[in-house]
Structure formats: structure tokens, C-alpha cells
Amino acid sequence: MAFSDSATSGLRPYALALLRVTTAYMLLLHGWMKFSGGTPLASLFGAAMVLELVGGALLVLGLFVRPVAFILSGEMAFAYWMAHAKAANWWLPLQNHGESAALFCFIFLYLAAAGGGALALDDARRRR
């Protein structure tokens, strides 16, 4: 049994919302780890911590999804190239431990293009 576009099209906004919320939650966990580890605010890790905590919370709520996701995509690309790609095997994310940064980067880039999906507070703001 194959899924047709017409049979699943009503689920797309909810699938997008699920992608948004779960990805944002995972990012929040990364930010919380930095926060609870005592990361100094005036450092690159501190800036990443703020972006991950504030941006993650905004994405969970579905507020300012497109600009926040675009900024977070850039943060994750920066993180990959600064922390993981310095290794000799920059093209092998599983070996340089950059797979989560690469996935976050492209998921956030997709959210920047697609929006927040169902149950995003951006929809309520737009309706007003």
C-alpha cells in the first residue's frame, strides 16, 4: 500500500510541527547542557548557549520560526566548521562527531523555508 499525496496532505502541517518541536527540544538540551556546565556568557560557547536556549524555546512555541530557524541554521554551520571540520576528516561527520551539527543545520534551514507547521503561535499572531 503506497501513500498518496492526497491521503497524507492533511498530515503535513502536523508532521512539520512535530519536526519543529522535537528538533527544538533537542537543541534546548544542548543549550541546557552548556548552561548547567557553567559556560561563561562572554565566549563563543556562551553565545551558542543563548542562541540554543532562546531560539529553541521560540521554536518549541512556534514564534518567529522562519528567522529564528535561519539564524540557528547558521549557528550550526558555524559550529560544524569551527569545531568539527578542523579535523583531517572534515568530510566525514561520523568520524569528526559533527553529525548532529550537520543535521541541525539542514533541518533548521528547511524550517526557515517551510515555516512552523500546525500549532505554531506564528499562526495566531498572523490571524490578528
Q: Is residue 8 part of a domain?
A: no
Q: Provide the domain count of the chain.
A: 1
- The strand ranges marked E within 13-119 are none
Per-residue pLDDT band at 2 (split at 50, 70, 90): low
Distances (CA, A) of 27 to 3, 51, 58, 108: 31, 9, 11, 11
Integer Cα distance of 110 and 114 in angstroms: 6
Q: Is residue 27 part of a domain?
A: yes
pTM reported for the whole predicted model: 0.90
Query: Quick check: is 107 in a domain?
Result: yes
Residue 64 inside a domain? The answer is yes
pLDDT digit string, tens, across residues 11-37: 999 999 999 999 999 999 999 999 999
Q: Which domain holds residue 80?
A: 14-127
pLDDT digits (tens, 9 = 90+) for 60-109: 999 999 999 999 999 999 999 998 888 778 888 888 889 999 999 999 99
Assess if residue 2 is contained within a domain: no
Rounded CA-CA distance 68/81 in Å is 20
